[in-house]
Amino acid sequence: MGRPHHDDRKSAENPRRVRFPRRWSQIDETRRGIVLAWLAFTVTFGGARLVTWLIQIDTRDVGDISAGGTHLHHYLWGILLLAGVAIFGMVDRSPRARTWMGLALGIALALIVDEAALLITLRDVYWHTEGWPSVAIGLVLIGLGGTALVLTRSGAVLDRDTEKDSDDESRSGDRGPD
């Protein structure tokens, strides 16, 4: 005969396994904005570093943005976007709006944090030793944000019988639409 699906002895011996969401639709609606904020921050921070490096090495078709001969640093765009998120947040607080605001918030914060050293020293130290605090702050925020998302596990499902779930997933293929 088959063994029972739930055995109290087995549960006491083996801790319960946490299953994290695999699809966007499995993430709790109230949490999607913060997940997107972290992801957008991470991607934008790396992208900003890449674009400024391309400008630094004088890559073709990549250049600075300036107005009247004055270079416009990308923290300016971050501040403007952050102001837009704040204003929009006072108007609409629906789960869908929070998702989009999370995306914009992550982008805005990455643009500001990427130039934190410039804002601290009030000198353009982006590619100098004094510019490394921006990188350090960015990496710490990425690490702390990712760790917080993992540790809080909102929307995660606790499994008691991991073997049964593994067998069910391997048979079904888990390929249905979201």
pLDDT of residue 22: 77
Specify the higher pLDDT residue, 169 or 129: 129
pTM score, whole prediction: 0.73
pLDDT value at residue 71: 86
Q: What's the whole-number mean pLDDT along residues 106-131?
A: 95
pLDDT of the residue at 118: 94
- Per residue in 124-143, pLDDT (tens digit) is 999 999 999 999 999 999 99
Q: Please list, in sequence order, all residues whose beta carbon lies within 8 angstroms of the beta carbon of residue 157, skipping any fewer than 6 positions away.
A: 18, 19
% of the chain at pLDDT higher than 90: 49
Backbone phi, then psi, for 44, in 5-degree steps?
-65, -40
pLDDT of residue 163: 45
Q: What pLDDT score does 31 carry?
A: 86
- Give the span between the Cα atoms of 11 and 150, in whole angstroms: 23
Nearest C-alpha neighbor of 35 from the set 142, 149, 114:
149
The per-residue pLDDT for 23 is: 82
pLDDT tens track for 2-31: 555 555 555 455 556 666 677 888 888 888
pLDDT band at 66 (very low <50, low <70, confident <90, very high): confident
In whole angstroms, what is the distance from residue 92 CA to residue 152 CA?
26
Q: Considering only residues 111 and 154, tell me which one the structure prediction assigns the higher pLDDT.
A: 111
